[in-house]
Structure 1
């Protein structure tokens, strides 16, 4: 029996253009993603380096203007359909499940979201969750198994009673290995608002 639901953020609630940043970086002359770039990105997403260090890396490595880099970096972020917020608020109000957010999100992205949405909407969304876990604040990132164990341990959750909803199969696969129930939601084909028609509880 499912008692807890852990939601991802991107392409679950906020829509993403997963190629958006790559396209914008290509316009700035960065056409190949190196292992070093991925390593720096993962460090940033885990909060192990600061925004200044992250932006500085690209500025030094590619001579990219810092404002251009930030704009390109946030090109992945799109709209937040209001029906998803309505669904979430109704789910939270029902108090049938303990709700959590678990997202690989960095400081630049969350700052953009707060500014784009406005803090009133952002807090309205955030307050639907018992805990709001962002990778750069907890120093873990998906699909590493430690991040799921962290959420389970911090909140005394039973893995088998916990559903994890994410759009990336590598993330739901690793969560399944820890014992969580999972829904690998396919963006464009499925929507989080269909949770109770797609999954049996």
Structure 2
């Protein structure tokens, strides 16, 4: 029996353009692929292991043609709209009080600042969760096993009583290894508001 629902943020509530972002960034940087160093810095930043100032300094030094503002715009390019019907769904879920609601998201400071500025109901959205975990605030990121163990231990949860929802298959696979129930949501065909139809066997 599901007692706790653990949600990802991107492509579950807020829409992302991941493929478009990659192509946009490669074109702007005038490179064909991301270096291992860039990937590492992105990961460090997402975990809050380096500051926004350090992160921006790394990129502006490596790509001096780009201003800090231009880089921030490139970095935030993936962030799109947050359909209001998903907020309404979450509000109803919260008011029903049947489940413990947790957000577990790989989100960095620049992205959350953009969201706070452009999504007017962000604080309302946040208030509907019992616990709200952003990777850069807790120093952990998916798909590493430790972030799931952290969420389970901090909230004294049984994995078998949790449903984890994420669009990333690597994240899903780690959750499955820890015996969480999962829904690998497809943002092109699925919507979080159809949760109880698509995963009705769990409820």
- After TM superposition, is the score higher than 0.5? yes
Partners in 2 of 1:20 and 1:113 — Cα distance? 18
Q: CA deviation at 1:181?
A: 0.6
* Paired residue secondary structure (2:76): helix
The residue aligned with 1:79 is: 81
The residue aligned with 1:6 is: 6
Answer yes or no: is the 8 Å Cα contact 1:12–1:192 preserved in 2: yes
Alignment of 1:1-201 (within 5 A): 1-25=1-25, 26-63=27-64, 64-118=66-120, 121-199=121-199, 200=201, 201=203
Q: CA RMSD in A?
A: 0.9
- CA-to-partner distance for each residue in 1:103-132, whole Å, 9 max, x for gaps? 0000000000000013xx111100010010
Partners in 2 of 1:31 and 1:95 — Cα distance? 49
TM-score of the superposition, structure 1-length normalised? 0.96
Partners in 2 of 1:27 and 1:48 — Cα distance? 26
- CA-to-partner distance for each residue in 1:76-98, whole Å, 9 max, x for gaps? 00000011000000001100000
Q: CA deviation at 1:28?
A: 4.0
* Paired residue secondary structure (1:76): coil
Q: CA deviation at 1:44?
A: 0.2
> Is there any run of 5+ residues in structure 2 with no aligned partner, and where?
none
Partners in 1 of 2:79 and 2:96 — Cα distance? 29
Partners in 2 of 1:34 and 1:177 — Cα distance? 30
Q: CA deviation at 1:21?
A: 2.8
Answer yes or no: is the 8 Å Cα contact 1:30–1:62 preserved in 2: no
Bigger shift: 128-137 or 14-23? Answer: 14-23
Answer yes or no: is the 8 Å Cα contact 1:162–1:181 preserved in 2: yes
